[in-house]
Amino acid sequence: MKSLILISLGFISASLHAADPLPSWNDTAPKQAIVAFVKKVTKQGSSDFVPVPERIAVFDNDGCLWAEQPMYFQFFFAMDRVKALAPQHPEWKEKEPFASLLKGDMKTALAGGEASLMEIVMATHAGLTTEEFEKAVTDWITTAKHPTTGKLFTEMVYQPMLELLAYLRANNFKTFIVSGGGIEFMRPWVEKTYGIPPEQVVGSNGGLKYELRDGKPILIKLPEIAHNDDKEGKPVGIQRHIGRRPLMAFGNSDGDFQMLEWTTSGSGARFGSLVHHNDSVREWAYDRKSHIGKLDKGLDEAAEQGWTIVSMKNDWKTVFP
């Protein structure tokens, strides 16, 4: 009899273990907080119960779902496009930031900061139809390699976050990306990579012009910003695209501060969380002084705001798939 009970317990324990939806997370506070939150908002009759249509979870992309060092990956795409387009733009040899970029001098090329970045992105993204741009992104994302790891960029997604996305969807959450990155840069590959469909991607986007070319309608990308989905722009993008306040928000930098602030100041149970890049062995360690993905204010205010800091080093068993 005792052995039967032991066998049963063993079986139950094995089942529970097999059913762990977040196997790449260590059993530390963040995992426990996530699971406890999901349980309470999905439990019928709980005072924190949230109906299915309101179960919205938003995720930053760069540094939250995939890596972002030494530079946002979209920039590598833009750089590769500058090289490919250079023969059609002889003037770039003399014109910054393109001249330095073509010489491989990234430091000078980006000395102008955000403005230089934006000029490069505009010059390489605008003028194409949305279909041409989608093809350019698809070709690039399936072949280009990260400069130091040599991996495809889509191999540099975070396994714990893939599990988290699947876990939330299994609990009838709708998962959205809310990123400062370009909406049209993300859509061609995020469905396959994260299981997030194009209509659930919120991001920065440029002007679009509808016109007929040879009798066929096209949408042309214009060299102008329609929405900058960063910082204060994130709650704006959320309101515009989703139209309701998320229940959960995950980010990693001060660019996500307002998204978490907006999310967690809603009524009822809410969850805000920041991934802290502190694992120099398996990924990169950076926070308060980083140019890319700076996390400073978020670290200072997380405790007061009730946000969960995820230590990549301590809380993640595995980083990449």
Q: Angle of helix 114-125 relative to helix 73-85, nearest 10 degrees? A: 60
Q: Which of 243, 281, 289, 304 binds a copy of itself (CB under 8 A)?
A: 243
| Stretch in the footprint of a copy of itself (CB under 8 A) among 72-80, 162-170, 200-208, 273-281 | 200-208
Q: Does 166 bind a copy of itself (CB under 8 A)?
A: no
Q: Does 180 bind a copy of itself (CB under 8 A)?
A: no
Site for a copy of itself in 246-275 (CB under 8 A): 258, 261-262, 265
* Minimal distance, residue 29 CB to a copy of itself, in Å: 26
* Minimal distance, residue 205 CB to a copy of itself, in Å: 6
Q: Which of 122, 208, 299, 309 binds a copy of itself (CB under 8 A)?
A: 208
Q: Angle of helix 183-194 relative to helix 130-141, nearest 10 degrees? A: 50
# residues contacting a copy of itself (CB under 8 A): 37
Q: Which of 191, 279, 296, 301 binds a copy of itself (CB under 8 A)?
A: 191
Q: Which of 205, 228, 278, 311 binds a copy of itself (CB under 8 A)?
A: 205
Question: What is the Cα–Cα distance from 43 to 48, expressed in whole angstroms?
Answer: 8
Residue closest to 168 by CA, chosen among 284, 67, 52 = 52
Q: Does 197 bind a copy of itself (CB under 8 A)?
A: yes
Question: What is the Cα–Cα distance from 109 to 100, expressed in whole angstroms?
Answer: 5
Q: Which of 31, 55, 81, 241 binds a copy of itself (CB under 8 A)?
A: 241
Strands 201-213 and 216-227, sheet pairing:
antiparallel
* Minimal distance, residue 99 CB to a copy of itself, in Å: 33
| Sign of the CA dihedral with 178 first, then 164, 276, and 273 last | positive
Q: Angle of helix 257-264 relative to helix 233-241, nearest 10 degrees? A: 50
Q: Does 297 bind a copy of itself (CB under 8 A)?
A: no
* Minimal distance, residue 312 CB to a copy of itself, in Å: 28
Q: Which of 41, 50, 56, 164 binds a copy of itself (CB under 8 A)?
A: 56
The residue among 149 and 205 lying less far from a copy of itself, judged by its C-beta, is: 205
Q: How far is CA 277 from the centre of its chain?
A: 14
β partners of residue 205: 227
In the complex, the residues that contact a copy of itself under the rule CB under 8 A are 53, 56, 130, 174, 183-184, 187, 191, 197-201, 205, 208-211, 216-217, 219, 226-227, 232-233, 235-236, 239-244, 258, 261-262, 265
